[in-house]
């Protein structure tokens, strides 16, 4: 049985939004225990719903007020119980997303996972089915990411804003997370990426790029339209509003009906 681990990145300061987006509330949605649900909490619940994920590392800001204590407080309490599965751990992030992931992978080395999924903490709508799809693909191919087809025709431009190439829409797509990799290889790839950053200032935008440069090909699986990333202030405005809804053990939204009976009303907090 393969040991599957996950890294959830939540070390950023959310400068484009002005508030720590991972700790923001998901509308009026509550955890099944009645606690207001945060973006990070909703994300964590999706990974906890996948029985094959055994270990989760969450990267947190260096600022003590936004660090591990705040991250713990933003999660459903049941996820942090000593005998809960998966086990959740926290690590201080670095100056960049890549550095933060590198810190998490270095901590994960002590747990010796076979594969690791790396996910943006600001993608709270990730579905357990997508996580399982990535797990299946990474076990088969050693590197896999979700890709979403583009609806607009992409253009490649130069620094002056002039179109250089008219790209074929069917040949490109938008990369999502979680991105899955064989663990020993992605850790070594990040080691090499860190060296290259110091030598020539290279900047890596995602982990698939790191793998592609230092290891080999990355396979894709279908992404999900609902797996959006919270990036701008207006993204917070479209967080799912559940009223008196709650999110249960499996990431499915439930509502309290007559006589206190919980009724499933949709996946990932959507009615």
pLDDT of residue 239: 63
Q: Give the residue from 19, 185, 32, 167 showing the smallest Cα distance to 113.
A: 185
Residues 64, 68, 71, 77, Cα dihedral to 10°: -130
- DSSP 8-state secondary structure symbol assigned to residue 244: T
Q: Is residue 156 part of a domain?
A: no
pLDDT of residue 66: 93
Q: Is residue 168 part of a domain?
A: no
- CATH of residue 225's domain is 3.90.550.10
pLDDT of residue 243: 36
Whole-prediction pTM: 0.86
Q: Is residue 180 part of a domain?
A: yes
Q: Is residue 157 part of a domain?
A: no
Query: Which residues contact residue 51 at a Cβ distance below 8 angstroms, ignoring those fewer than 6 apart?
Result: 85
Alpha-helical runs (H) found in the chain: 39-48, 68-73, 97-108, 128-141, 183-200, 207-214, 233-237
What's the structural domain count of the chain? Answer: 1
Q: Is residue 101 part of a domain?
A: yes
Which residue range(s) make up the domain with 257? 4-147+173-267
Residue appearing with tokens 């670095």: 94
Residue appearing with tokens 């070390």: 11
Tell me the per-residue pLDDT of 194-236, one tens digit each, with 9 for 90 and over: 999 999 989 999 999 999 999 999 999 999 999 999 987 777 7
pLDDT of residue 241: 44
pLDDT of residue 238: 67
**Burial level of 98, CB count in 10 A (0-12/13-18/19+)?**
buried
Q: Is residue 199 part of a domain?
A: yes
pLDDT of residue 15: 60
pLDDT of residue 231: 83
- In this prediction, the residues of the chain whose per-residue pLDDT falls under 50 are 240-271
Q: Is residue 155 part of a domain?
A: no
Residue 131's alpha-carbon distances to 94, 126, 187, 232, in angstroms, are 25, 8, 20, 25
Strands 143-149, 173-175: parallel, antiparallel or unpaired by DSSP? antiparallel
pLDDT of residue 19: 75
């Amino acid at each position: 049985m393969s040991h599957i681990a996950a890294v959830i990145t939540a070390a950023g300061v959310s400068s484009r939004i002005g508030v720590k987006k991972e700790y923001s509330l998901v509308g009026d949605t509550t955890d099944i225990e009645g606690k207001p649900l945060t973006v990070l909490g909703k994300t964590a619940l999706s990974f906890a719903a996948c029985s094959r994920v055994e270990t989760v590392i969450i990267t947190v800001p260096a600022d003590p007020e936004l660090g591990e204590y705040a991250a713990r407080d933003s999660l459903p309490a049941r996820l942090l119980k000593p005998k809960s599965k998966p086990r959740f751990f926290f690590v201080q992030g670095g100056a960049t997303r890549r550095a933060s992931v590198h810190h998490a992978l270095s901590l994960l080395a002590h747990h010796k996972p076979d594969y690791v999924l790396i996910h943006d903490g600001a993608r709270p709508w990730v579905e357990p089915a997508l996580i399982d799809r990535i797990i299946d693909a990474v076990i088969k191919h050693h590197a896999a990411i979700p890709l979403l087809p583009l609806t607009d025709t992409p253009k490649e431009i130069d620094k002056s804003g002039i179109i250089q190439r008219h790209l074929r829409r069917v040949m490109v797509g938008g990369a999502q997370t979680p991105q899955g990799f064989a663990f020993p290889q992605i850790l070594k790839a990040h080691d090499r990426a860190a060296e290259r950053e110091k030598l020539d200032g290279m900047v890596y935008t995602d982990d698939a790029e790191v793998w592609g440069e230092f290891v080999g090909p990355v396979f894709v699986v279908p992404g999900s339209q609902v797996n959006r990333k919270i990036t701008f202030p207006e993204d917070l405005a479209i967080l799912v509003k559940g009223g008196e809804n709650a999110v249960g053990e499996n990431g499915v939204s439930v509502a309290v009906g007559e006589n206190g009976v919980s009724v499933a009303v949709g996946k990932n907090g959507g009615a």
